[in-house]
Structure 1
Amino acid sequence: MMSVYDDRLWLARYAPGQPAGITVEHDSALAMFRAAVARNPDGDILRYCGGRITLRELDELTDAFAVGITDAGFRPGERVAIFAQNVPQFVIAQVGTWKAGGIAVSVNPMNRERELGQLLADSGATVLVTLQSLWQEVAAKVVPETAVRTVLTTSELEYRAEPGSPVECPGTVDLAGMLARFRGVAPPEVTLGPDDIAFLTYTSGTTGPPKGAMTTHRNVVFNAQTYRDWVGLSGDDVILGVAPLFHITGLIGHIAVALLVGAPLVLMGRFDAARTIETVRAERATFTVGSITVFIALMNVPGVEREALASLRKIYSGGAPIPPSTVKAFQAAFGTYIHNCYGLTETTSPSHAVPFGAEAPVDPASGALSVGVPVYDTVVRVVDEEGREVPVGEVGELVTSGPQVVAGYWEKPEETEKALPGGRLHTGDVGYMDAQGWFYVVDPKKDQINAGGYKVWPREVEDVLYEHEAVREAAVIGVPDQYRGETVKAFVSLRPGFSATAEELIDFCRERMAAYKYPRQVEFLEELPKTVSGKLLRRALR
């Protein structure tokens, strides 16, 4: 049996009563939003620090945005870059861009001048929407060298129950003023189809300059429906926005799902664990998807009670490997199981997920937690270096086909052909499928440690470290060793109120692992370096 899996196997095994696949219900993400407005115009769609925006109000604000940028010279097909934290203005700009016939470009608010300049140059954005603080600190130094004609600045203090005073940003257009000026005016009609680009989402650039993945409206609608149907979401849910909105998880698992089902999306600006717990309690949030580091942080809030997250019963986690011990600890603390999921920017968020209500198996050989099974209408192959499908249980590269796979990279046909030959995404991730169809993603080959000829996968060591009660986060790398060539080193941050020595953690692992696997060195850090999506940056530790 070869490692080829599609959604029909999932349907037959886990949900025999479900229809085969998804019928995409809307031609565009904009049509999806308009349908939600028509169903329940007075329902909340955004909640932010006590403030509320209804679907009707968001419809009016996004109309005004589209009219305002069109009045300033914006034309269909042009790009609007959104450089902001998790604030309502992000959603206003994104939907408003679609109403103007444009393409939204999501930009990491942690970017500095060089990175922002790269993305603005590559996308050719003609409009920039940014927070006043980011304009003053970063963007003002970059924009004069780009194609940006219009800069809209806004404050994270707006749209709160108690809004603060905005800051003057000379040379820019105040977003609030523009929306007030054009509110009530309808923008010109635009036609968006399934194959039109909804937004450019830039890859992390770990193997070269960042590339803009061309996410189509079909991609957005399909995976919004995937989340809805896979998890069982409706307008009665409340979505907790813990993932960054610029990231594909936030774009689909937060914004797109909210626009599809008409459920309120709760935003909090920057993530803060203690404030998140207070927000869940106050807003009765029911669903979220985020990095496992979010849930580790929630567990480690001093004095947190089991009832604090009582309403949050639909939880998924992706973007970074999940230690099985963390899933058990979270379930013991709060009574809710964290469902694993897996995807890339190029798969518009999930390509694999654990069926809601099921628990992911743990591979007995490696200790890896399964990332789930392929979602609807998705075919995944595991192939060797020559592109041949490998037998079940054998490690190879994951190659994904399905309606969520992006059209390619913005103005990079060679890169597109290399990564997406024939529309099949060569993920670059290494994994395998077991006999039941569950998938496991293992560490990239570059992370594998060669200790005296023995191969060590960092994640296996990390999973054992997570079993120690004092360990909050752990990352493992290989370091030079005169005798073995390479040896295992662990970087660890400790939970508040707990202590441990390096010798204690080394002994803890020695008792639970083969002699060549346990760490010979342990270094303690207050915080481990991570990407904004929560992936541990092993290269930074090296």
Structure 2
Amino acid sequence: MSGYGDRPWLAQYGEDRPADLVPDHATMLDLFRASVAKAPATEVIRYFDGVLTLAEVDRASDALAVALLDRGFGAGDRLALYLQNNPAFVIGLLAAWKTGGIAVAINPMNKHRELTYLLADSGATALLCLDDLYSDVGRTVVASGDTAVRLVITASALDWQQRVDPRLFAHVVKPVVEDALDLVDLLDQHEGQSPPLADPAPDDVAVLSYTSGTTGVPKGAMNTHRTLAFNSQTYRDWMALTPADRVLGVAPLFHITGLVGHVGIALLVPCPLILAHRFHPGVVLDAIREHRPTFTVAAIPVFISLADQPDATREDFASLTIAYSGGAPIAPAVRDRLRTRTGLEIHNIYGLTETNSPSHAVPYGAAAPVDPASGALSIGVPVFNTVVRILGDDGEEAEVGEVGEIAIRGPQVVPGYWNKPDATAEAIPGGELRTGDVGFMDPDGWFYLVDRKKDMINAAGYKVWPREVEDVLYTHPAVREAAVVGVPDAYRGETVKAFVSLLPGKSASPAELVEFCRQNMAAYKYPRTVELVDELPKTTTGKILRRELRE
């Protein structure tokens, strides 16, 4: 069924949208330049004790753009960003756009094989990376000759800090990298210089964001200036963010959530973006105490980790009045537990790399309903200008309440994958994204995520969705995190297995957890085995890696 259209619920919510709507033809560079012209002294990055204003980021990205152009980088070329959550990422992003080029966002956890593939697939000719990542991984990859990279610039985690946090950077001294250019040195060399005015078109590619590759090789989603601008505005308007807000940047900036839900917001609103290099719960909790952020969007394990800090108090989280979670499902029991522990009212949000982050969100201040049949918490309603359908196995629209694949059409959907026309035609036929996620819409227009199509377990002919079993496990008072997978079974073909981590100070045996599930769900659904683990494997964005558990 279609999502919203002229439904009065959405129209009512839309009454409070700000009047300063982003023009359809605007690019991310236009939005940044408008913010600089409007409020050049606004703090746009807070990095430990370091602060950068819009004017300072504008000058730094100008200088880097000149440095790139002087060294042969040009319009349409790709600059790979292999960085943590540092100011260098924002400066590099803007510099790529100011040359008319494209940024390639790369996960800093990637190793030699993965980095080689991403650099070769994107055709990146320049690499901006952390000095330690270059020493450990990048140098060998570039020297191999398997990529087109001919220019390497390194940055340090210490750049733009005024104080070193001893827990994160103990005994760190900025190294000298002999076979690469230093970012700060380049900026000093080109200080005060400006590149020729670049004017990318709205449908030009701004960033290549690579999918995780869970169903094949990673694909470069072509996030355009238009799609990024639209969903940066979506965040701003949906959450009613203003220059008085402060964004806690805990999602990785290379990921679409960090790219749009952190950087896009900061450049558009504009408002400060609080960065802390990488996610370490103790360090981030200190940043919350020092900078008092008002908004963040993060995967639910981030909130769990922060709440589990032994010295965390409800007062620590009091400034975070607008908290959203995406990237991994939220069980109602987890939402309620976090509310009790932290006071946070966490709202659901849903989107993909191919939708430039949100396609659905719970309106700020609204309470997401829980489906009475499955116990699932709603992922929200379609955001502005977005039409969502639920498709059955036959490809036809499903009825209200019927489970099927979520398909999304809207101005935030990417036009396709970089150099992969066949994959584009399969995943985005006619401009409508087939997500691979299974869900349904209730009679009031709320959407619910059931699971990934590929994660469905077939137990003796019965369909079992891992998400439903996980939600039941989360209601047990000792369960911290849970993940459910299908494992081979001689009699049933597949059977259900759960991996569980327990809350600090709590105890439960595998047999007790199996019996708990047996008492709370149909016989074919409950896990036959439970394995207790200290931590579940996750991506850098907090998604639990079921494939690693299956392996």
TM range (shorter): over 0.9
The equivalent of 2:168 in structure 1 is: none
The equivalent of 2:311 in structure 1 is: 303
User: What amino acid sits opposite 1:467 in the alignment?
Assistant: T
Matches within 5 A, 1:380-391: 380-391=388-399
TM-score (norm 2): 0.95
Structure 2 portions without partners, runs of 5+ = 165-171
Distance 1:186 1:21, change over 3 A: closer
Partners of 1:79 and 1:104 within 8 A in 2: yes
CA distance in 2: counterparts of 1:156 and 1:16, whole angstroms: 41
Cα distance, 1:316 vs. partner? 0.7
The equivalent of 2:498 in structure 1 is: 490
The equivalent of 2:471 in structure 1 is: 463
User: What amino acid sits opposite 1:354 in the alignment?
Assistant: V
Structure 1 portions without partners, runs of 5+ = none
CA distance in 2: counterparts of 1:290 and 1:10, whole angstroms: 29
CA distance in 1: counterparts of 2:271 and 2:439, whole angstroms: 35
The equivalent of 1:137 in structure 2 is: 136
CA distance in 1: counterparts of 2:308 and 2:163, whole angstroms: 29
Residue in structure 1 matching 2:524, options 508, 516, 519: 516
The equivalent of 1:102 in structure 2 is: 101
Residues 478-535 of structure 1 deviation map (CA, whole Å, 9 limit, x = unaligned): 2233444433211111222322221222233233223332222111111111222222
Q: Secondary structure at the match of 1:339?
A: strand
CA distance in 2: counterparts of 1:386 and 1:454, whole angstroms: 19
Q: Secondary structure at the match of 2:422?
A: helix
Q: Secondary structure at the match of 2:65?
A: helix
Residues 50-92 of structure 1 deviation map (CA, whole Å, 9 limit, x = unaligned): 1111111111101101011111111111000000111110111
Partners of 1:21 and 1:376 within 8 A in 2: no
Cα distance, 1:385 vs. partner? 3.0
Distance 1:291 1:61, change over 3 A: same
Matches within 5 A, 1:287-302: 287-302=295-310
CA distance in 2: counterparts of 1:130 and 1:400, whole angstroms: 34
Residues 154-175 of structure 1 deviation map (CA, whole Å, 9 limit, x = unaligned): 1111111126642121211111
Matches within 5 A, 1:36-55: 36-55=35-54
TM-score (norm 1): 0.96
CA distance in 1: counterparts of 2:215 and 2:455, whole angstroms: 14
Residues 234-284 of structure 1 deviation map (CA, whole Å, 9 limit, x = unaligned): 111000001000000000000001000111000011101122222111101
CA distance in 1: counterparts of 2:285 and 2:188, whole angstroms: 34
Matches within 5 A, 1:266-277: 266-277=274-285
User: What amino acid sits opposite 2:176 in the alignment?
Assistant: E
Partners of 2:238 and 2:363 within 8 A in 1: yes
User: What amino acid sits opposite 2:162 in the alignment?
Assistant: A
After TM superposition, the runs of 4+ consecutive aligned structure 1 residues lying more than 4 A away are: 10-14, 18-23
Q: Secondary structure at the match of 1:139?
A: helix
Distance 1:60 1:10, change over 3 A: farther
User: What amino acid sits opposite 1:92 in the alignment?
Assistant: I
CA distance in 1: counterparts of 2:299 and 2:216, whole angstroms: 24
Cα distance, 1:196 vs. partner? 1.2
Matches within 5 A, 1:150-189: 150-162=151-163, 165-189=173-197
Cα distance, 1:303 vs. partner? 3.3
CA distance in 2: counterparts of 1:506 and 1:352, whole angstroms: 34
More off after superposition, 38-47 vs 465-474: 465-474
Residues 124-154 of structure 1 deviation map (CA, whole Å, 9 limit, x = unaligned): 1111000010001111111132111110011
Partners of 2:459 and 2:492 within 8 A in 1: yes
Distance 1:331 1:134, change over 3 A: same
CA distance in 1: counterparts of 2:19 and 2:348, whole angstroms: 21
Matches within 5 A, 1:257-406: 257-406=265-414
Partners of 1:21 and 1:377 within 8 A in 2: no
Partners of 1:6 and 1:377 within 8 A in 2: no
CA distance in 1: counterparts of 2:506 and 2:313, whole angstroms: 18
The equivalent of 1:479 in structure 2 is: 487
Distance 1:133 1:98, change over 3 A: same
Partners of 2:4 and 2:10 within 8 A in 1: no
More off after superposition, 285-294 vs 459-468: 459-468
Partners of 2:437 and 2:453 within 8 A in 1: no
Cα distance, 1:459 vs. partner? 1.1
User: What amino acid sits opposite 1:339 in the alignment?
Assistant: H
The equivalent of 2:7 in structure 1 is: 9
CA distance in 1: counterparts of 2:259 and 2:17, whole angstroms: 26
The equivalent of 2:150 in structure 1 is: 149
Partners of 1:433 and 1:440 within 8 A in 2: yes
Residue in structure 2 matching 1:411, options 408, 419, 428: 419
Cα distance, 1:325 vs. partner? 0.7
More off after superposition, 143-152 vs 14-23: 14-23
The equivalent of 2:92 in structure 1 is: 93
Cα distance, 1:23 vs. partner? 4.5
Distance 1:283 1:20, change over 3 A: closer
Residues 448-474 of structure 1 deviation map (CA, whole Å, 9 limit, x = unaligned): 223344332211111121122222111
Q: Secondary structure at the match of 1:138?
A: helix
Partners of 2:18 and 2:237 within 8 A in 1: no
Residue in structure 2 matching 1:248, options 246, 256, 259: 256
More off after superposition, 368-377 vs 268-277: 268-277
Distance 1:200 1:16, change over 3 A: closer
Aligned residues: 540
Distance 1:315 1:101, change over 3 A: same
